[in-house]
Amino acid sequence: MNTLKIEHEWLKGLIPDGLAYPTSTIISGPGGSGKPLVEFAFVASWLKAGGSLIGIPLQYPSVEFVKRSMLKLFDIDLDQYNKKYINIQFDVDIDSYEQISENEIRANLLKPEVLNEVIALADSLIEKSKLGTMVFGSALNLLFFSPTYKDAALKNLETIIKHDKSKTFIFSVSNSMLAEEIKHLEDASDNLMYTRMEKPMKLFFNIEKMAGVKFSNKEVNVPISKEILKEIKEIAEKSRKKILPKLKNI
């Protein structure tokens, strides 16, 4: 199994041999506990190593927010990776999907067939690399708030996480609600990690299981400033509050 070397010292100390790929990773924790910020650390290392990337940030209002976060956190300018990165924006107001630009697709990701189709489409459009493609997604638990699509969405994600080795997957999910459903994804994953937040805005991280590499389960304080944590948390929470009422009525 191949491994991705991690650049960030706080993370390298826990997985000195890197992240095995292709594997699936779940980063789980309470709402607002900084899960996507840890996820971005893996994404940054993947891009710098030459990998191709598909982003599915469900709770973020636009690709611009992802770009700003990556630049502030890890000095990654996604505009320099135009041929290597495509963003899939969650849009429940359209029936299927539509390509907005060279680097952006809008899609109704509640529908499992649409999620699978747009991932395949995005993968066909980006420049390939020896590492292959990483698919990262945040707040995937939002898909389970739809009464109509909940069961199908959960089954589809569980299948992807457990069986699809054509790509490297890393998803963050909130376990504050729907804990039973989230447990299915945690159990299906190759790699399982947790975050939590302490006052005043301190982000903690630990690893529960890893495939193919040695790891430490020691909990570490992630070195991200209080100001950045607060800003990103507020934007994500505002977006979630806007979309949740819609999802509960679909």
For the chain, domain boundaries:
2-248
Q: Rounded to whole angstroms, how far apart are CA atoms 12 and 162?
A: 25
Cα 123 from chain centre: 16
Give me the pLDDT at residue 31, please: 83
Whole-model pTM? Answer: 0.94
User: What are the two backbone dihedrals, phi and then psi, of residue 57, each rounded to the nearest 5 degrees?
Assistant: -85, 90
Give me the pLDDT at residue 116, please: 98
pLDDT averaged over 10-residue windows placed end to end, the chain, 250 residues = 90 95 96 88 94 92 84 90 93 95 94 98 93 95 95 97 97 91 96 94 96 96 88 77 86
Angle at 222 between CA 221 and CA 223, to 5 degrees: 110
Cα dist from 88 to 41, 49, 117, 195, whole Å:
19, 22, 11, 25
Domain 2-248 has what CATH class?
Answer: alpha beta
Give me the pLDDT at residue 69, please: 86
Give me the pLDDT at residue 170, please: 98
Q: Rounded to whole angstroms, how far apart are CA atoms 6 and 49?
A: 9
